Structure 1
């Protein structure tokens, strides 16, 4: 089981409507990506981030499906340019010591296949990656 966590602090000039759009995109991911078994999207409280999401995914095959799904790609294109700081990480109960590197390899594969996305990620503030 993988819990994929996303946390974001938007840039100072981002409007409430833009934040609502990113939240709507995150919720849509949870609803339409078949690999997502459950999800939570909302405002964060007392963390230094403004909002976040948690997506529960069964395994690495599902994680890849999540990463390349058009709903996820759309959220990246809407949300990444608005981020002052963004943090993503994964929590898993899989005890394989190579599990983390396998997740990282999926991200690298995704960025290699999508130069536009790789450029959006590269443009994030260094502390926000």
Structure 2
């Protein structure tokens, strides 16, 4: 099982309506992407981030499905331009020592296949984690 976790801090000029749209997009991802087994989207407590999300995904095939699903692409295009800082990371019980590099490779492949997304990611002021380009 993979717990894909993201934490976000919005730019200072983001309106409450824009923030709610991003959160709605994240919730929609959880509802419509078949490989997502469960999810939580909401306020981030205990740090300098405002929102967070956790998506539980069965395996790397499901992770790829999650990454390239149109609902995820839509969230990226709505949300990334509004973000000042984002951090993504993954927690898994898979014992393969190459598991982390395999996840990083999926992200790299996604950016290669979607130059528009890659441009959005490269434009972020701060991005850390597997999804960072």
Instruction: State the TM-score, normalized to the length of structure 2.
Output: 0.94
Structure 1: distance between partners of 2:7 and 2:75: 13
> CA RMSD for the aligned pairs?
0.7
- In the other structure, the counterpart of 1:63 is 63
Structure 1 gap ranges (5+): none
Displacement, 1:30? 0.2
Structure 1 residue ranges (4+ consecutive) displaced by more than 4 angstroms after TM superposition: none
Instruction: Within 5 Å, give how 1:14-33 maps onto structure 2.
Output: 14-33=14-33
Instruction: Within 5 Å, give how 1:97-112 maps onto structure 2.
Output: 97-112=97-112
Structure 1: distance between partners of 2:22 and 2:58: 24
Deviations 1:75-103 (A, max 9, x none): 00000000000111100010100000000
Structure 1: distance between partners of 2:106 and 2:46: 31
Structure 2 gap ranges (5+): 129-133
Displacement, 1:123? 0.1
